[in-house]
A and B are shown apart, each in its own frame.
Chain A
Amino acid sequence: MKINLELSEDEDSVDESSEEEGSEDGFSLTSKIQSGEDINTAASAENYFDLHAHTPVTSDRTLASLEGPRLDVDTVRSVLVKLSPHHPKHCQALLDRHAKLFNKWMLHMCSGFNILLHGLGSKRNLLEQFRETHLAKFSHLVVNGYFPSLTVKHILNSISEDLLESSKGFTNPQAHLEFIKEEYRNRDEEVFLVIHNIDGVLLRSDKCQAILSLLAEIEGFHIIASLDHINAGFMWDQTKLFRFRWLWYETPTFAPYEAENSYENSLLVQQSGGLALSSLAHVMRSLTPNARQIFLVLAEYQLENGDSGNYIGMSFQALYHKCREAFLVNSDLTLQAQLVEFKDHNLLKAKKNFEGIEHLTIPIDQATLKEFLHDYKSNS
């Protein structure tokens, strides 16, 4: 990182010729900024130790002392939508300046490079604009890297099912990749991948990036992606970087991250548990009636007793007796087998207490659980 940072410090005065050529096109942006005063962005080891040498002193005030309830996501969103945008003219000017680079991007992609956009602000709209003006007539795939349940399999499936219109199934991504590669070798067709947030949480893993980089290698595949996390560069090792053949473009837009920011882990927002609820409903639908009933038994028990502070969960024996009474299971082995399904989906946590007896909890807060039970009963 140190090397990276030092490289960006400007020690090279800007060439006159580039200034002249750049001023009319969109290239003046960086030269202007770089020729400005030096900003101390270099992170040094001393600073780190300065910061962590002593335990930080902060006040003990908490957000609880604010009046009124914590805002939930919907309120935050609805309030923010009403706000007038910040520096609208200037942001638009920035966007327009970046838009002048569109042709250049296409040209670079034609000659085998891929484009990576970085800089402050959501680059979604910029990429969308690019997609609509330049990619509309070509086959292309839009990937929302920030989407909370995206997997690399989805991407591959979209390519093979929607673009190649093949219904073949694949056991592993490698085979899938091979298939795509083979298909496109004979096809003489170009495909553009527009990836919003290639550093999205679910795409960050080494495996995903490896597959994306292999996709980038396929002849006729072009990638234009955006990147936001400050340490995103660490995702790629030399091999992957080479496969991607990135050309970086700094495109700060200062636009708020509306779509990207899901407020999922935000501390200030009251968690509505919307996602947990939907996944719960989803899993329930795929279960056998008996399993559903078992889960309901557990959920109702937790709802009744969970309010006490030292609730450690329903003991396995208690659950077994209840289920036996309701003719849901005939042995504790079958109950165990049923529970595996929940454990796999993280809907159930088992913990042994000091006596060695297993206690089962559903790791979802009471309100969500209540809502779930309510929904479930009204539906069925």
Chain B
Amino acid sequence: MSSNTATSVSKGCFAFKGSTKRVKEKDYLPTSSDRFVQNRLHLYKEVWDELHLHIDLLRSDLNFKIFDDLIGFAADCHKDRNEKIWVSGAIGEIPTAVLITGVNTPDHSVMFSNLDSMLKSKVTPLVARILTKDCSRISTLIASLVSQLTCVALPHEDEDGEEVATGPRNMVPVDIPIQLKAPARRKKSITMSTLVKWYNRKYSNSTQNSGASPRKKMKNDNVLNGSVDSESHMDLHCDRSTDKPLIIVMLEDAENISPGVLQDFICLCSSHLVSLPIVLVMGIATAVTAIHQLLPSSVSSLLCMQKYQAPPASRYLSQLLDKIVMAPELPFKLGPKVFHFLLDIFLYHDFSIMNFIMGFQHCMMEHYLNNPLSLLCCLKKDVLKRTSHLTHSHLEEIRRQPAFMRYVEEQIVGPDQAKLLTDDTFTQTHLAMTVQSLHQYHTKMFAGLHFLHHLGLQLPRFPLGKQFRELYSVCLTSNHVCECDGYKEALALLRMMSMDDLCPLLEGGLELISKWKDSSEEIEKLTLDMKGFIERLKNIEAEPDELPQDSNEDTVRILPQRAKLHELKARLQSLSHRRYKSPYERLRDEIIDCLHNHFQALLGSPLLQPLHEILYFTDIVTVKEQIKAAPRCSIQRALIQPGKYLNCVCCQCDQESILPTMPDLCIVYKLHLECGSLVNLYDWLQAFVTIVTTEEPAMDSKPKKKGKSSQRNPSVELRARFIRAVSELQFLGFIKSTRRKTDHVMRLTW
């Protein structure tokens, strides 16, 4: 079978029908040593579903505001056009909402489908989404538009469409002797006037019908089929607005539509605006100026544009991170390197949330697949249930994990150590306790981090970073947040803050962490302390004023005395140290010291907690390779150092040297690296032959006998090998043929 598919010269595709319809995941679990991978996979599904729900919620929240505005615009835009203008046909401007979507194109389709459903439910049932793929020609665009609009209101309408199409076809034989193909004819007949006809018939009739006698309905037998449907549909609308429903056309990626088609479409819309209340929604990835580049002013003047800026992807990411990735609720956590890796891809590569989520999902799956400890990586509320269900074999599996063993050896002393390794019930309760305390620790930590972040936001130059994720990553990478420079700078700056700033700052911070207030003692204590301080700040007058005991005397004493310059200097300095502190300043110092103590207790790195391996995924190597591979590098690595991949003794060498035992392709590649931008094939062949023949002095005496002449005229076999290697290099894209010089090739890499 395999040879069949490889070498066939008549076909490139081979289909095989299978007997089984669905794939069962459990058939493919790694069977060898890991018996509970299925349980874990199940758990993964649970957690992922939960997470997915949150992501969806977030997504619908995010664009709510901008969509609201846009919907308001769409609903209002045709209202002010009164009947007089309608009749006179003076209007030519199409109301257009330009939605600036940002460059993260993969995320857009979700956004537009949200907008689509919102428009449909709130403004009009006639909404069409035009995708780039429909826009190769104006006819396909119109066809897609018409089919979307007509399907919405009335599925039966297809028949009518056909009727319209058959009309001219019947006349064809009379007019032209040479007949066009029927389907092509039908396609062509879908135009804007088809839409106008359909729209007029449908909505003028139904508005009349809703008030008029049923007799009128009978008169127009065209709509007989679907009148019941359309009427019920319409009644809804007539109640809300006496106007006819709007037609909203969404051009999702306007920059990608060919300008000609877009221009035609806009002109068409404009000319039919009298009969069709069209509203355009254009998605633009870059900036509004793109429209003016796409369209000549004669066309763009037909648009009455209103700009809507969708929130940038980075804000979406921050929200996603804040609510999902960096939240205590989700058990699965990314280790520092993985976290940075995913973040870097987003920030420096694609700006795509969907890709970020995909990467996150992949990491999560890897975690549950590969780490047996992840059996315990579940939501906090399930921890007890889960640990109590652990069987003896489960526990044995866990005990075998290096992370667990390390934990037992290093952190547990006394009789518990032995118990943990033998006593199942004890281990169960102990595990439950540890995992719960891990969750607990996270709650505390995140509350503390949020509080600190809030303080940091008010400081000049943002020593703790603008984004919460920066602070979080500090927390992950360093041993303790309090040790890092940014933190120290931030505290120093806080010590200089005025009362008017400090008080609202603390209040805001308290509000921020209020949802975690009851979750742990430490946070509760922090809240209480801060409340007390705020109280005291508000009644600052009541603070006891520290008596300036001897300072006054000092100053008095210095002045009349004659003193040497350096003495005076030293004295002045010591004076300044002891300078007078206002009650507020003393209170402020007290507050900052108290805060520092709290942060000391709260913000240690979670990676130092016992058994953090249960929740944290740190295997960057695997994920990195699968999400962000560098195919070119891997090929070049393999070409330069084949020995590393092949694991053979004969090809081990450093980067520069060429060994005759290497695969032909590697030799040829390395030889071509020595050349300039052009490579002479003849010389290349000779070099290749020289290298390859030095290896086999014992193999065959033939080339030896011939000596030099054999070198100049290599055997057919060697030439064939060389040809294969060179054409493989060409296949890989390292060289290409050139006509600049006979029998030369051009290098494409450098």
Chain A residues proximal to chain B, CB less than 8 Å: 1, 3-5, 7-8, 12, 14-15, 17-18, 20-22, 24-25, 27, 29-34, 36, 39-41, 43, 47-48, 50-52, 54, 56-59, 61-68, 71, 75-76, 79-80, 82-83, 86-87, 90-91, 93-94, 103-104, 106-111, 113, 116, 118-121, 124-125, 128, 132, 134-145, 147, 149-150, 154-155, 157-159, 162-163, 171-172, 174, 188-190, 210, 214, 227-233, 237-239, 241-243, 245, 247-250, 252, 254, 256-261, 263, 265-269
Smallest CB gap from B15: residue in A? A162
16 pairs across A/B with beta carbons < 8 Å? A25-B30, A33-B645, A52-B750, A56-B675, A66-B713, A76-B723, A83-B720, A108-B365, A118-B634, A140-B16, A141-B13, A171-B183, A230-B733, A232-B733, A239-B106, A258-B6
Choose one: B12, B104, B644; the contact of A238 (CB below 8 Å): B104
Q: Which residues of B contact A254 (CB under 8 A)?
A: 638, 642, 645-646, 663
Assembly CA distance A128 to B6 (angstroms):
9
Q: Is there an interface contact between A261 and B724, defined as CB atoms closer than 8 Å?
A: yes
Assembly CA distance A265 to B745 (angstroms):
12
Q: Which residues of A contact B716 (CB under 8 A)?
A: 68, 71, 75, 79
Minimum distance in angstroms from A133 CB to a CB of chain B: 11
Assembly CA distance A132 to B2 (angstroms):
9
Minimum distance in angstroms from A49 CB to a CB of chain B: 9
Q: Is there an interface contact between B105 and A143, defined as CB atoms closer than 8 Å?
A: no
Q: Is the interface of B mostly helix, strand, loop or mixed?
A: helix
Q: Which residues of B contact A233 (CB under 8 A)?
A: 631-632
Assembly CA distance A188 to B349 (angstroms):
36
Assembly CA distance A190 to B104 (angstroms):
30
Minimum distance in angstroms from A171 CB to a CB of chain B: 7
Q: Is there an interface contact between B13 and A143, defined as CB atoms closer than 8 Å?
A: yes
- 10 nearest CB pairs, A to B: A147-B12, A248-B629, A242-B106, A56-B676, A162-B15, A150-B12, A120-B638, A8-B630, A118-B631, A106-B28
Chain B residues proximal to chain A, CB less than 8 Å: 1-2, 5-8, 11-23, 25, 27-33, 104-106, 133-134, 136, 140, 183, 187, 337, 348-350, 352, 354-355, 358, 361-362, 365, 369-370, 402-403, 613, 618-622, 624-642, 644-648, 651, 655, 663-665, 675-683, 685, 712-714, 716-717, 719-724, 726-728, 730-734, 737, 741-745, 747, 749-750
Q: Is there an interface contact between A210 and B133, defined as CB atoms closer than 8 Å?
A: yes
Q: Is there an interface contact between B352 and A137, defined as CB atoms closer than 8 Å?
A: no
Assembly CA distance A268 to B18 (angstroms):
44
Assembly CA distance A324 to B370 (angstroms):
80
Q: Is there an interface contact between B17 and A139, defined as CB atoms closer than 8 Å?
A: yes
Smallest CB gap from B20: residue in A? A137
Q: Is the interface of A mostly helix, strand, loop or mixed?
A: mixed
Q: Which residues of A contact B402 (CB under 8 A)?
A: 17, 20
Q: Is there an interface contact between A59 and B631, defined as CB atoms closer than 8 Å?
A: no
Minimum distance in angstroms from B707 CB to a CB of chain A: 15
Choose one: A56, A71, A128, A162; the contact of B2 (CB below 8 Å): A128
Q: Is there an interface contact between A238 and B105, defined as CB atoms closer than 8 Å?
A: yes
Q: Is there an interface contact between B737 and A39, defined as CB atoms closer than 8 Å?
A: no
Assembly CA distance A16 to B424 (angstroms):
28
Choose one: A57, A80, A265; the contact of B737 (CB below 8 Å): A265
Q: Which residues of B contact A34 (CB under 8 A)?
A: 621
Smallest CB gap from B256: residue in A? A239
Q: Which residues of A contact B642 (CB under 8 A)?
A: 254
Assembly CA distance A29 to B734 (angstroms):
25
Choose one: A54, A111, A116, A189; the contact of B22 (CB below 8 Å): A189
Q: Which residues of A contact B355 (CB under 8 A)?
A: 238, 241-242
Given contacts A12-B621, A76-B720, contact A118 B629 (CB under 8 A): yes
Assembly CA distance A58 to B106 (angstroms):
48
Q: Is there an interface contact between B369 and A227, defined as CB atoms closer than 8 Å?
A: no
Q: Is there an interface contact between B631 and A103, defined as CB atoms closer than 8 Å?
A: no
Given contacts A111-B365, A188-B21, A267-B743, contact A248 B621 (CB under 8 A): no
Q: Is there an interface contact between A30 and B625, defined as CB atoms closer than 8 Å?
A: yes
Choose one: B362, B724, B732; the contact of A80 (CB below 8 Å): B724
Given contacts A210-B133, A257-B731, contact A247 B723 (CB under 8 A): no
Q: Is there an interface contact between B676 and A15, defined as CB atoms closer than 8 Å?
A: no
Q: Is there an interface contact between B678 and A230, defined as CB atoms closer than 8 Å?
A: no
Q: Is there an interface contact between A230 and B621, defined as CB atoms closer than 8 Å?
A: no
Smallest CB gap from A113: residue in B? B362
Q: Is there an interface contact between B678 and A56, defined as CB atoms closer than 8 Å?
A: yes
Q: Is there an interface contact between B677 and A56, defined as CB atoms closer than 8 Å?
A: yes
Q: Which residues of B contact A250 (CB under 8 A)?
A: 625, 629, 634
Q: Is there an interface contact between A58 and B675, defined as CB atoms closer than 8 Å?
A: yes
Q: Is there an interface contact between B726 and A247, defined as CB atoms closer than 8 Å?
A: no
Assembly CA distance A269 to B713 (angstroms):
16
Q: Is there an interface contact between A14 and B722, defined as CB atoms closer than 8 Å?
A: no
Q: Is there an interface contact between B28 and A110, defined as CB atoms closer than 8 Å?
A: yes
Given contacts A41-B637, A110-B23, contact A256 B724 (CB under 8 A): yes
Q: Considering residues B352, B613, B647, which has the most beta carbons from chain A within 10 angstroms of its beta carbon? A: B647
Assembly CA distance A17 to B366 (angstroms):
13
Minimum distance in angstroms from A167 CB to a CB of chain B: 14
Q: Is there an interface contact between A260 and B731, defined as CB atoms closer than 8 Å?
A: yes
Q: A83-B721, A229-B732, A267-B737 are in contact. List 18 more A-B contacts (CB 8 A).
A: A12-B337, A14-B621, A18-B622, A30-B621, A32-B644, A63-B682, A83-B720, A137-B18, A137-B20, A140-B18, A158-B15, A233-B631, A242-B352, A242-B355, A248-B629, A259-B7, A266-B726, A267-B743
Smallest CB gap from B44: residue in A? A111
Assembly CA distance A248 to B354 (angstroms):
18
Assembly CA distance A87 to B644 (angstroms):
13
Minimum distance in angstroms from B359 CB to a CB of chain A: 10
Q: Is there an interface contact between B730 and A265, defined as CB atoms closer than 8 Å?
A: yes
Minimum distance in angstroms from A148 CB to a CB of chain B: 8
Q: Which residues of A contact B362 (CB under 8 A)?
A: 113, 247
Q: Which residues of A contact B644 (CB under 8 A)?
A: 32-33, 36
Choose one: B627, B629, B732, B749; the contact of A228 (CB below 8 Å): B732
Assembly CA distance A237 to B352 (angstroms):
12
Minimum distance in angstroms from B661 CB to a CB of chain A: 8
Given contacts A17-B618, A31-B621, contact A4 B632 (CB under 8 A): yes
Minimum distance in angstroms from A147 CB to a CB of chain B: 3
Assembly CA distance A135 to B183 (angstroms):
39
Q: Is there an interface contact between A52 and B677, defined as CB atoms closer than 8 Å?
A: yes
Smallest CB gap from A16: residue in B? B402
Q: Considering residues A24, A116, A147, which has the most beta carbons from chain B within 10 angstroms of its beta carbon? A: A147
Assembly CA distance A58 to B672 (angstroms):
12
Assembly CA distance A56 to B741 (angstroms):
11
Q: Which residues of A contact B183 (CB under 8 A)?
A: 171
Choose one: A3, A7, A31, A59; the contact of B683 (CB below 8 Å): A59
Q: Which residues of A contact B33 (CB under 8 A)?
A: 24
Choose one: B15, B678, B727; the contact of A263 (CB below 8 Å): B727
Q: Is there an interface contact between B2 and A228, defined as CB atoms closer than 8 Å?
A: no
Q: Is there an interface contact between B682 and A141, defined as CB atoms closer than 8 Å?
A: no
Q: Which residues of B contact A43 (CB under 8 A)?
A: 749-750
Given contacts A33-B645, A137-B18, A238-B352, contact A245 B358 (CB under 8 A): yes
Q: Considering residues A1, A107, A138, which has the most beta carbons from chain B within 10 angstroms of its beta carbon? A: A107
Minimum distance in angstroms from A130 CB to a CB of chain B: 11
Q: Which residues of B contact A109 (CB under 8 A)?
A: 23
Choose one: B13, B628, B665; the contact of A150 (CB below 8 Å): B13
Q: Is there an interface contact between B679 and A58, defined as CB atoms closer than 8 Å?
A: yes
Q: Which residues of B contact A22 (CB under 8 A)?
A: 622
Smallest CB gap from B638: residue in A? A120
Q: Which residues of B contact A17 (CB under 8 A)?
A: 402-403, 613, 618-619
Q: Which residues of A contact B741 (CB under 8 A)?
A: 58
Q: Is there an interface contact between A39 and B640, defined as CB atoms closer than 8 Å?
A: yes
Q: Which residues of B contact A141 (CB under 8 A)?
A: 13-16
Minimum distance in angstroms from A200 CB to a CB of chain B: 9
Q: Is there an interface contact between A268 and B630, defined as CB atoms closer than 8 Å?
A: no
Q: Which residues of B contact A103 (CB under 8 A)?
A: 28-31
Minimum distance in angstroms from B39 CB to a CB of chain A: 15
Choose one: A33, A65, A87, A132; the contact of B637 (CB below 8 Å): A33
Q: Considering residues B7, B349, B625, B644, which has the most beta carbons from chain A within 10 angstroms of its beta carbon? A: B625
